[in-house]
């Protein structure tokens, strides 16, 4: 099979991923092999490839927003059949035994393994996953359109949940990339008023097309206080002004796996009156299953820019430069 392989972390500008022909890995008893149709790119991939995350193994095939068909199943797999359409996400495996797994917080599992980090991911013609950690994908969603749901969508959905936003309330979204353009559709489905902050003209235009009630830059005054907010951009300097936008008792969720340093906070201006600041760490399988069901109900539309597998280095460079409107997706097979 063909795969784009990382041998040494470094700037994506240096075309770090190398096209190789590899022998597919053997299946363990509880695993499935997936013929990859599409794999979306994520800012986490940038942090992985550039070495901002600890890399437990090299060489490595990145990619964790995978859509494909099951080719083979291990002998202990009963719930998934060959030919079934499935998705493979960031959370690749948990221990099931630690205090977090036993308290419905498996996203915090101390022994969790992550797709495209601890084991090979979806920048390849096939991938191997643990059967309990793949998601059924509706047949009526095209592969390229569905791929961003497997991380951008799941994280956006979890961030919405943790922000505490309720039907009809006012929500702020900071940064408008792959996650935010999915989250806004769920928020609008919940009849929320949505305020989008982005420095990119095209991103603000897309937000308006998807139903944003207001768009602007972070330095512009927000029309009214917000009941909840989500910061998708990995920019710590957004945190103080975003907190200042919140209503009393509201929550600001930080949805990135990586964020630059957060500047000084003024207690009275940014945190007093029981405002909450919380991070979003990974996701649970519950988030994935609920998001997939919701995607079918809403008919979530994803804005994508399509690339061939061999073009992944260029796609990553565009992603880092903020020149992808929506989500970059590798189309690997039909």
Residue range 313-331, pLDDT digits in tens? 999 999 999 888 778 999 9
Which has more confidence, 197 or 256? 197
Domain 2-150+282-331 sits in CATH at 3.90.180.10
Q: Is the pLDDT of residue 41 over 80?
A: yes
Q: Determine the average pLDDT of the residues in 69-77.
A: 96
- Which band of pLDDT confidence, cut at 50, 70 and 90, is reported for residue 185? very high
Residue range 85-135, pLDDT digits in tens? 999 999 999 999 999 999 999 999 999 999 999 999 999 999 999 999 999
Say if residue 298 is exposed, middle or buried (CB neighbours under 10 Å; 0-12, 13-18, 19+): middle
Q: Is the pLDDT of residue 245 over 80?
A: yes
Give 15-22's long-range contacts (Cβ < 8 A, gap of 24+).
15/313, 16/49, 16/313, 17/49, 17/62, 17/123, 17/312, 17/313, 17/316, 19/309, 19/310, 22/124
Contact predicate 244/269, CB 8 Å: yes
DSSP H or E segment with residue 45: helix 43-49
pLDDT of residue 195: 98
Tell me the pLDDT of the chain averaged across its residues.
94
- Domain spans of the chain, in order of start: 2-150+282-331, 153-279
pLDDT of residue 264: 94
Q: Determine the average pLDDT of the residues in 47-58.
A: 93
Domain 153-279 has CATH 3.40.50.720: yes
Helices (H) and strands (E) in the chain — how many of each?
Answer: 8, 17
Contact predicate 92/129, CB 8 Å: yes
C-alpha–C-alpha distance, residues 275 and 259, integer Å:
20
pLDDT of residue 24: 87
**Which residues lie below 8 Å from residue 257, measured CB to CB, with a gap of 6+?**
43, 44, 47, 53, 281, 282
């Amino acid at each position: 099979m063909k795969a784009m392989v990382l041998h040494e972390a470094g700037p994506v500008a240096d075309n770090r991923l190398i096209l190789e022909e590899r022998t597919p890995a053997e299946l363990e008893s509880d695993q499935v092999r997936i013929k990859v149709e599409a794999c979306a790119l994520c800012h986490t991939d940038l942090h992985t490839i550039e070495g901002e995350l600890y890399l437990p193994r090299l060489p490595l095939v990145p990619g964790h927003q995978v859509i494909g068909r099951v080719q083979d199943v291990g002998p202990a797999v009963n719930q998934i059949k060959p030919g079934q359409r499935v998705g493979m996400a960031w959370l690749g495996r948990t221990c099931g035994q630690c205090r977090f797994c036993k308290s419905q917080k498996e996203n915090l599992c101390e022994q969790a393994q992550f797709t495209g980090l601890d084991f090979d991911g979806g920048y390849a013609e096939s991938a191997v996953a643990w059967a309990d950690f793949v998601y059924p994908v509706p047949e009526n969603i095209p592969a390229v359109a569905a791929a961003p749901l497997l991380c951008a969508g799941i994280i956006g959905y979890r961030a919405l949940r943790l922000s505490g936003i309720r039907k009809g309330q006012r929500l702020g979204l900071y940064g408008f990339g792959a996650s935010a353009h999915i989250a806004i559709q769920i928020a609008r489905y919940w009849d929320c008023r949505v305020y989008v902050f982005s420095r990119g003209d095209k991103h603000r235009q897309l937000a308006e097309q998807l139903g944003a009630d207001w768009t602007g830059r972070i330095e512009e005054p927000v029309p009214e206080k917000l009941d909840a907010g989500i910061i998708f951009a990995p920019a710590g300097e957004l945190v103080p002004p975003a907190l200042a936008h919140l209503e009393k008792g509201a929550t600001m969720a930080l949805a990135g796996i990586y964020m630059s340093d957060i500047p000084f906070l003024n207690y009275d201006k940014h945190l007093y009156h029981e405002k909450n600041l919380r991070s979003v760490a990974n996701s649970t399988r519950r988030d994935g299953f609920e998001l997939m069901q919701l995607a079918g109900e809403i008919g979530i539309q994803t804005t994508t820019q399509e690339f061939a597998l061999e073009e992944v280095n260029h796609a990553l460079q565009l992603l880092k430069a903020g020149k992808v409107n929506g989500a970059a997706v590798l189309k690997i097979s039909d």
